[in-house]
Amino acid sequence: MIEPPAPHAPDSRAPHDPHAPQGGGAGASGMARAPAALPAVGERLGVWRVAAALFECASGFWFRVEHGKAAAQTGLALVYRNESDAQAVLMRFAEDSEALSRFACPTYGAPLDSGLSPTGLPYLVVPAMDGAPLLRVAMALPLKRRMQLLLDLIEMLDAAHEQGLVLHELDPGTLWLSPAQQLHWLGQGLTPRDSHAPAALVRAAEPLANARQRAGGRPDANSETHALGRLLGLLVNGRLPRRDAAEEGVEEEAEPGATPVASLQSWLTLTAAQRESLDQLLDRAMMDGRSFTDRRLLAQAVRDWIEAEPSAAAKAAPSPAQGPAPVPFPPPPLEARADDRPVPPGTPLLERLAGFAFVLALAAVAAWLLLRA
């Protein structure tokens, strides 16, 4: 299990305060607020007691909690790293939690409780489950399986729409993957169509939101599809395009474990045509905001790409009868490539040249990915 920094230790990555003085002068440093301390094991979050520290995500930190008055009742608590998320978390819980609790979906965990930690950080309690945040473990899965997870989420959204709920925000840290590779959605990403809760987003959801919603607009079909397209980019590449922050002023908290390096191995199994078609799909899903006007069009485009000629990785995958391969928590480090090992003295020249050509091809692909970013 992946351990976050000790909850009682100061976090060197202080939440960004847009109103804090800038610069390194004595006046600025004297007025800057120290980051609020995270709860330690044994401390209280309302009626809940922190039982164990679990995972870090862009939103904050996940803890396992136990109910103070019913020891058998356990849950998961997401303690947000940014105090500025309090309005989005608390006000929306007060307004929408009853409606969300009526959404009968086995892979959705509606919020159970909300409040402020003793140091003023907002928290949200959801039903307990096993697994880990999706982007911590997704890169251990084959590429097409990662893309299928987006379709699983869209199926949940289809069920939510039938019950009068729409996508308010997509915080990647609230998406979890169970040990059986089943996608779960926890928290307050949904909202009733007629909700009067504030339109505010938690900070970790802003990089996936479109400009209109970041400016305070209510969710609609375009904002929903935009967020889903951005999530597709995260699942394929492990990150969003770097140029977004410079062009749109979006502050992106890196999702721990979501690394583009881990996606390179699956990218190399694709043919040149598959890479080009996937590039075009990602550009349309993440950039222009016009190609896919609703989630069903995006889902069909992803489904068409998955069902195209299978890649080498898909041909080598286990048959359905064998069941899905278990996902490690956390994913193992990439193994050393054969061409990285020393060449024994007696190796034929042809084999040496083949290994050298493979290394050059690998370097060219890596350089192409960096230039594209």
What is the pLDDT at residue 309? 57
CA 164 from centroid of its chain's CA atoms: 25
Q: Which CATH class is domain 45-306?
A: mainly alpha
Q: Which two tokens stand for residue 124?
A: 């949200």
Give the integer Cα–Cα distance in Å for 285 and 244.
14
267 vs 319: which has the higher pLDDT: 267
Q: Which two tokens stand for residue 372?
A: 């594209």
Identify the band that residue 92 occupies on the pLDDT scale cut at 50, 70 and 90: very high
Helix (H) or strand (E) holding 95: helix 92-101
DSSP output for 107-128: TEE---EEEE-TTS-EEEEEE-
- Work out whether the CA dihedral 146, 148, 151, 153 comes out positive or negative: negative
Lowest-pLDDT range, 8-17, 31-40, 225-234?
A: 8-17
- Which among 1-10, 227-236, 343-352, 363-372 has the top mean pLDDT? 227-236
Instruction: Tell me the CB-side half-sphere exposure of residue 284, using CA atoms within 13 A.
Output: 16
pLDDT at 302 over 70: yes
16 vs 215: which has the higher pLDDT: 215
Lowest-pLDDT range, 55-59, 113-117, 236-240?
A: 236-240
Q: Is the peptide bond prior to 241 cis by the omega test (within 30 degrees of 0)?
A: no
Give the integer Cα–Cα distance in Å for 25 and 20.
13
pLDDT at 63 over 50: yes
What is the pLDDT at residue 373? 55
- Asked whether the beta carbons of 65 and 45 are under 8 A apart, the reply is yes
* Angle separating helix axes 143-162 and 221-237, nearest 10 degrees: 160
Percentage of the chain exceeding pLDDT 90 = 54
Average pLDDT over residues 308-326: 49
Q: Which two tokens stand for residue 78?
A: 């997401």
Q: Which two tokens stand for residue 347?
A: 């190796």
Identify the band that residue 214 occupies on the pLDDT scale cut at 50, 70 and 90: very high
Give the integer Cα–Cα distance in Å for 202 and 197.
13
